[in-house]
């Protein structure tokens, strides 16, 4: 009778399972940033975002959708271990508005971006021998994301002075 021999060989494969997580960015009013798919235990490269009149301080972790932030993401040392949303934290930039004529600064102030400048509508400069006509450019209602210099338009006043006697015969 024939003999049936059965041989079972086992092979253990040492496979390392790698997970991929989603890193989302909420720029909190800044430019849109696409989510990234990152392998577990991998670092992130810094992601730049833009927001008019602001400077990006950094990206933060939050438990309440960015209302409050817990910790800044350290792009040099933090590794991705789960899906996460990072929230942008911004600092408002300051800019200078200057009202002047050719020789003199009449008014100057440094204010935050988007600061209400409506109070300047009533500012009327004084200069001896001159009458204020207008501003060469419109004063913006809110501070833009740049320094602003606006020149005054004067009407120069002349005074005629008579020298000598009134009843002079020629």
Supply the CATH number for residue 139's domain.
Answer: 2.60.40.4270
Q: Which of the residue ranges 62-76, 116-130, 142-156 would you say has the lowest mean pLDDT?
A: 62-76
163 is a domain residue: no
For the CA atoms of 110, 115, 121, 123, the dihedral, rounded to the nearest 10 degrees, stands at -30
Name the residue with tokens 């021998």: 129
8 is a domain residue: no
140 is a domain residue: yes
27, pLDDT greater than 80: yes
Mean pLDDT, the chain, rounded, equals: 89
Residues 29 and 82 in one domain: yes
157, pLDDT greater than 80: yes
pLDDT of residue 164: 65
Q: How many CB atoms lie within 10 A of CB 152?
A: 20
Distances in Å between the Cα of 100 and the Cα atoms of 84, 115, 130 are: 51, 20, 14
170, pLDDT greater than 70: no
SS3 content of the chain, % helix, strand, coil (to 5): 5, 40, 60
- CA gap 7, 121 in Å, rounded: 96
Provide the whole-model pTM. Answer: 0.76
Residues 86 and 133 in one domain: no
13 is a domain residue: no
Residues 72 and 31 in one domain: yes
What total of structural domains would you count in the chain? 2
Q: For residues 73 and 43, is the Cβ–Cβ distance under 8 A?
A: no
Mean pLDDT calculated for residue range 80-101: 97
Domain containing 128 equals: 94-156
55 is a domain residue: yes
Mean pLDDT calculated for residue range 87-95: 97
45 is a domain residue: yes
Residues 56 and 113 in one domain: no
Name the residue with tokens 């890193």: 23
11 is a domain residue: no
- CA gap 23, 28 in Å, rounded: 16
Q: For residues 100 and 127, is the Cβ–Cβ distance under 8 A?
A: no
């Amino acid at each position: 009778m024939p003999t049936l021999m059965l041989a079972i060989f086992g092979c253990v494969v040492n496979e390392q399972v790698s997970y991929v997580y989603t890193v989302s960015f909420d720029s909190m009013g800044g430019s849109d940033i696409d989510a990234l798919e990152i392998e577990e235990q991998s670092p992130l490269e810094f992601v730049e975002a833009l927001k008019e009149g602001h400077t990006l301080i950094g990206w933060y972790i939050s438990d309440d959708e960015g209302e409050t932030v817990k910790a800044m993401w350290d792009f040099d040392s933090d590794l991705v271990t789960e899906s996460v949303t990072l929230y942008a934290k911004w600092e408002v930039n300051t800019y200078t508005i200057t009202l002047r004529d050719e020789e003199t600064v009449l008014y100057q102030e440094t204010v935050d971006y988007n600061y209400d400048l409506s109070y300047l509508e009533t500012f009327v400069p004084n200069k001896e021998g001159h009458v204020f006509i207008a501003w060469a450019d419109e004063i913006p209602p809110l501070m833009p994301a740049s320094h602003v210099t606006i020149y005054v338009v004067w009407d120069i006043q002349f005074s005629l002075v008579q020298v000598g006697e009134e009843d002079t015969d020629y």
